[in-house]
Copies of this chain bind each other. A is one copy, B any other.
């Protein structure tokens, strides 16, 4: 477990501040204009996306999750946040292409800026994970942590780092939008299954 934390810590240090600022600016603008934010991801990246979407809802965003019941159509000026470590998850790429066609602004959270998802995106936030290309090598573990054995299977390191990163985005949005924790609590579901 300590190794996962260490990995997350190192990756957070390496985030590109300009990329993060672009994401924050775009989300703040969507909030102030009332435009929709659609969050999408497959598998565990989709769960991380839902955790982020729930907080955006608590902040008062007009936010939806791909694949849930009441997700409406989106259009120009709406924002898509697409989460995929590899940037190659076929159905996320397909959905992003559809979002691109209606001129939504695409924010990609991925380990691979030059992946199909990265190339479709208007804004890319790069979150290094273990390489998908040579998973046995644990490229990033070696390069970043200087250790030589697998840390956690499959996309775990990307997913855990993405959750912490997106929760940091939420804290920053609270400051920008002047929201207190009590504001969030007021929007939190009071009837919860």
Q: Which residue of B lies closest to A190 (CB)?
A: B73
**In the complex the two chains form, what is the Cα distance from A168 to B165 in whole Å?**
19
Q: Which residue of B lies closest to A181 (CB)?
A: B153
Selected A-B contacts with CB under 8 Å, 27 pairs? A1-B164, A2-B12, A4-B164, A5-B9, A5-B12, A5-B164, A9-B9, A38-B191, A43-B188, A43-B189, A43-B192, A44-B51, A47-B54, A55-B156, A58-B154, A66-B191, A72-B188, A73-B187, A90-B94, A91-B95, A95-B191, A98-B190, A98-B191, A150-B181, A153-B174, A154-B184, A193-B193
Residues of the B chain whose Cβ atoms lie less than 8 Å from the Cβ of A2: 9, 12-13
Copies of this chain per assembly: 4
* Interface residue? A143 (CB, 8 A): no
Residues of the B chain whose Cβ atoms lie less than 8 Å from the Cβ of A94: 90-91, 94
Given contacts A67-B192, A152-B168, A163-B163, list 18 more A-B pairs with CB under 8 A. A1-B164, A9-B9, A40-B191, A42-B193, A44-B51, A47-B48, A47-B54, A50-B69, A64-B70, A65-B69, A74-B190, A90-B94, A90-B98, A90-B192, A154-B181, A154-B184, A154-B188, A160-B167
Chain A interface residue count: which class? 35 or more
A67, chain B: closest CB distance, angstroms = 4
Most B CB atoms within 10 A — which of A38, A51, A54, A63? A51
Residues of the B chain whose Cβ atoms lie less than 8 Å from the Cβ of A102: 190
Chain A 26-44, CB within 8 Å of chain B: the 1/0 string? 0000000000001010111
The main secondary structure of chain A at its interface with chain B is helix
Inter-chain contact A170/B156, CB cutoff 8 Å: yes
Most B CB atoms within 10 A — which of A13, A159, A160, A170? A160
* Interface residue? A68 (CB, 8 A): yes
Which A residues form the contact surface with B (CB < 8 A)? 1-2, 4-5, 8-9, 12-13, 15, 38, 40, 42-44, 47-48, 50-51, 53-55, 57-58, 63-74, 89-91, 94-95, 98-99, 102, 135-136, 150-154, 156, 159-160, 163-165, 167-168, 170-171, 174, 181, 184-193
